[in-house]
Amino acid sequence: MSDNSSATPESSPELSPAPASSAQNSAAMIRTLTLIATISGLLVVMAVELTRPLIAENQRIAVEQAIFQVLPAAVSWREYRLSEEKLVLAEETTTGISIYAGFDGKGELSGIASEAAAQGYADTIRLLYGYNPECECITGIKILKSAETPGLGDKIFKDLNFIANFKALVAKLNGQQDGLENAIVTVKHGKKTDPWQIDAISGATVSSRAIGKALNDSTQYLLPRLVNQLSNIQSVEGDAQ
């Protein structure tokens, strides 16, 4: 005998609503995380603001030390900016390339200094160099930033023979005063024959060439724009920094 009774369909399980306590816990967690993030952000901002004057002062001291190193005759200095082809005293709102004028004990201009940069082996090399308009020569360099290979590339600020390249490196303008008479170039170690050449460090040619490129690029651009404006800063009394 067949069973004519109909099968009872299986009922679908009903989803139970989440307990109210679970939703409350989630909201509380979000509020807590938001509060933590807000407090952390405020602490970061406060730390930046509190350390900003200290960082600025440390940077000023570092620049000052570099200026006196690359301008040996200077006892004081003042910052100018080359802004829209004009050399003006630097103020907080002044934009342009920083030019540091160094003055001797009589308040007379002993030279100018500026930053230069070029790609090295590992990263960009940044430096400050000094320039004496009387001898039309570079009087020193100070590496400000370098990530070159220890023991090789870092010789650019340790090797005394290499540093000697910059005691009187010729950077003379041509007759038209629109560029250097002879480009500053780095040559292979032991191959230097002219006073505008840089004798490279053996084993650190890339880093040595970066220094030469940085100095050449900067002087080729700056000196033609500064040569007729240096008289604006030829004399200063004791108000230099």
Is residue 94 a part of any domain in this protein? Answer: yes
Number of independent structural domains in the chain: 1
Q: Which two tokens stand for residue 23?
A: 């939703």
Is residue 93 a part of any domain in this protein? Answer: yes
- How far is Cα 205 from Cα 121, in angstroms, rounded to an integer? 9
**Count of alpha carbons within 13 Å of 139, Cβ hemisphere only?**
22
pLDDT in tens, 189-213: 999 999 999 999 988 889 999 999 9
Is residue 24 a part of any domain in this protein? Answer: no
* Phi, psi angle pair for 64, to nearest 5°: -60, -45
Q: Which two tokens stand for residue 184?
A: 């500053």
Is residue 116 a part of any domain in this protein? Answer: yes
**In this predicted structure, what is the pLDDT of residue 13?**
55
Pseudo-torsion of CA 43, 44, 48, 51, nearest 10°? 60
Reference 134, options 110, 102, 156, 152; nearest CA is 110
**In this predicted structure, what is the pLDDT of residue 145?**
87
pTM to 2 decimals? 0.74
Is residue 33 a part of any domain in this protein? Answer: no
Instruction: Classify the phi-psi angles of 96: left when phi > 0, otherwise alpha if psi is within -120 to 50, otherwise beta.
Output: left
- Say which amino acid occupies 90: A
Q: Which two tokens stand for residue 76?
A: 């004081």
- Report the SS3 class of residue 145: strand
DSSP 68-127: HHHSTT-SEEEEEEEETTEEEE--TT--SEEEEEEE-TTSBEEEEEEEEEEE-SSSEEEE
- Say which amino acid occupies 119: Q
Is residue 43 a part of any domain in this protein? Answer: no
In sequence order, the β-bridge partners of residue 141 are: 129
| Radius of gyration over every alpha carbon of the chain, rounded to an integer in angstroms | 32
Is residue 4 a part of any domain in this protein? Answer: no
In the chain, which stretches have pLDDT less than 50?
A: 1, 5, 238-240
Is residue 25 a part of any domain in this protein? Answer: no
**In this predicted structure, what is the pLDDT of residue 238?**
45
175: Cβ–Cβ under 8 A, 6 or more apart, which residues?
A: 181
Range of the domain at 127: 55-233
